[in-house]
Amino acid sequence: MDVNFLGVGVGLVTGGIGGWIASLIKLSSEKKLLDARQDKQNEIQLAERIERYQSLLLLSASDLQDRLWHLTQDQYTARSPVLLNKDEDKRAYPAWPMTARHYLTSTLYLAARYFAAIEMLRHEIRFLTYRQDDKTRDLREKIKLVERSFAETRLQKEADRNVSSDQPIFQMQQVFIGQSIWHRRGQMIEWLEYPQFVDHYRQELSTNEDFMALADLLRGSVSKRSGSFHHRRLTIVLNSLVDLIDFLDPQQEDGEGRFIAKEDREKVKLGTVPRASPSK
């Protein structure tokens, strides 16, 4: 056989293999590039979802903290707390035309919205599995502190008197309350708007044991009944919400945050009873 012919054949085969290998390398490189781009896009989308749900969490935590401050520091000292009005549709005071029905329903909504934000965060991004870093662990710790402030019965041991009545809201009660007011819109989970919640509450939720327990906690916090732990529990919840707010929206040197003002993140000293307001 002609040696030159063999050489040409071997050259063709070698060239073909080389070209095939080169093509594989090129395809592999392109796939890695596409995968890297997809991973980057996924990270961007996840970061956007995290930012969205953390913004909802900050909003709901701040609104609930504000209402609990009013409940435990203002209403608690009033001569006739609005939540204790026997006529639920009677205006509380001429200068403050709030009814017991509205105050209770709106406070339940603010609490439910906070619980919903927690459950939305857990459900949508598998509770911050995007990174297991110190920041993530700190956020989990702050969220858990609020949960335990609502639920932990061992808090009663810290009271300065014997506790005869209390109404903790346990973890799965918090889950139920939160998931009761959410719905899907496209690819996102959202909480119900307030008018929708009012209808849902009147038709179904007002007789649910978890919402009834939460309502008892709210009413009990202003009742001043002997041995009640309700007021202290909600004060502890209020302070734990401030810790969460401070984490999500850190204070600057002047005490102000980017979103939440200094005066809107005020903690309350435990064991102190605020002075009664003479105007109410």
Q: Which percentage of the chain shows pLDDT scores above 70?
A: 75
Predicted local distance difference test score (pLDDT) of residue 180: 95
Mean pLDDT of 222-249: 94
Q: Give the number of other CB atoms < 10 A from CB of residue 243.
A: 17
Distance CA 216, CA 225 (A): 13
Task: Tell me which long-range contacts 193-197 makes (C-beta under 8 A, separation of at least 24).
Answer: 194/106, 194/109, 197/105, 197/109, 197/112
Q: Say how many CA atoms lie within 13 Å of 276 toward its Cβ.
A: 9
pLDDT at 279: 34
Rounded CA-CA distance 280/278 in Å is 6
pLDDT of the residue at 130: 46
**pLDDT tens digits, residue range 160-186?**
678 899 999 999 999 999 999 988 777
CB 265 within 8 A of CB 246: yes
Q: Does the pLDDT value for residue 6 go beyond 70? A: no
pLDDT over 90 at 269, yes or no:
no
pTM of the predicted structure, to 2 decimals = 0.80
Mean pLDDT calculated for residue range 212-226: 94
C-alpha to C-alpha distances, 235 to 33, 36, 77, 149, nearest whole angstrom: 54, 49, 14, 9
**What is the rounded average pLDDT of the residues 128-132?**
53
pLDDT reported for residue 189 = 80
The pLDDT of residue 114 is above 90: yes
| Paired strand residues for 189 | 184
Return the pLDDT at 16. 61
